[in-house]
Amino acid sequence: MPGDAGGGPHAVVFDLDGVVVDSFAVMRAAFDTAYAEVVGDGPAPFAEYSRHLGRYFPDIMRIMGLPLEMEEPFVRESYRLADRVTLFPGVVDLLDELRRRGLRLAVATGKSGPRARSLLDTLGVLDRFAYVIGSDEVARPKPAPDIVRRALELLEVAPDRALMIGDAVTDLASAHGAGVTAVAALWGECHEAELLAAYPDAVVRHPAELLDLCPALGPFTDALTE
């Protein structure tokens, strides 16, 4: 747990959607379009889709029994509507302060790596993260621990010196499996009861509250995203 002997965490691994970026409306629009193009008429089951957020899109399609062909129009529309995605208030200040305190930062997302990096670049915050890892860049996406373990490997940080913060049960499961402190973020459109039932090690309701878990380590040497 953070704050024990040794100075607390050395790194924070972030989920992307619902934690760093507010993309819920764009995801809904992209999902509705993809469903209409591939499946046809009728209401798109976005409420069910949203309960699986954090997973890789093809995995969600398999779970829901929907055609994998929905991925192409979903990704196309996500890129087209990317300018509607915003950063959550307080996130930039949080990232800058964590870096000032000497922590290394990474993103481990259900998105593909190229799409995640493109979005963060568009929003002007890609350089805040040492690494941005997508679900297509590991053998097993969330809820498996692979993507968090990969982040720790790249960051050269031990599991007991890292936090993973996410807004979905899959994020917490991935964090627990990797042996890192699992932090639930409640400032987005998350399913709070389900998150709390997944036994997070800590809960934060505003980005700035994460700083309470991350004491300063000393001077920070930047590592730009590869």
For residues 93 and 124, membership in a common domain is answered with: yes
- Cut 0.85: pTM above it: yes
Asked whether residue 54 falls in the same domain as residue 110, the answer is no
Residue 198 falls inside a structural domain: yes
Same domain, 76 and 91: no
The string of pLDDT tens digits covering residues 154-208 is 999 999 999 999 999 999 999 999 999 999 999 988 888 999 999 999 999 999 9
What pLDDT sits at residue 7?
67
- Percent of the chain whose predicted confidence (pLDDT) is above 90: 86
Which amino acid is residue 94, in one-letter code?
L
- Give domain status of residue 56, yes or no: yes
- State the CB neighbour count (10 A cutoff) for residue 160: 14
> How many independent structural domains does the chain possess?
2
Picking from 48, 66, 84, the residue at the C-terminal end of a domain is 84
4 falls within a domain: no
pLDDT in tens, 100-118: 999 999 999 999 999 999 9
Same domain, yes or no: 151 and 181: yes
pLDDT at 225 over 80: no
Residue 102 belongs to a domain with what CATH number? 3.40.50.1000
Tell whether 114 and 206 lie within a shared domain: yes
The per-residue pLDDT for 226 is 37
pLDDT in tens, 16-68: 999 999 999 999 999 999 999 999 988 999 999 988 888 899 999 999 999 99
Asked if the structure places residue 147 within a domain, the reply is yes
Identify the residue with better confidence: 224 or 146: 146
* 17 and 127 belong to one structural domain: yes
Residue 99 has phi, psi (to 5 degrees) of: -65, -40
What's the confidence (pLDDT) of residue 213? 97
Domain that holds residue 202: 11-22+85-213
163 and 80, same domain (yes or no): no
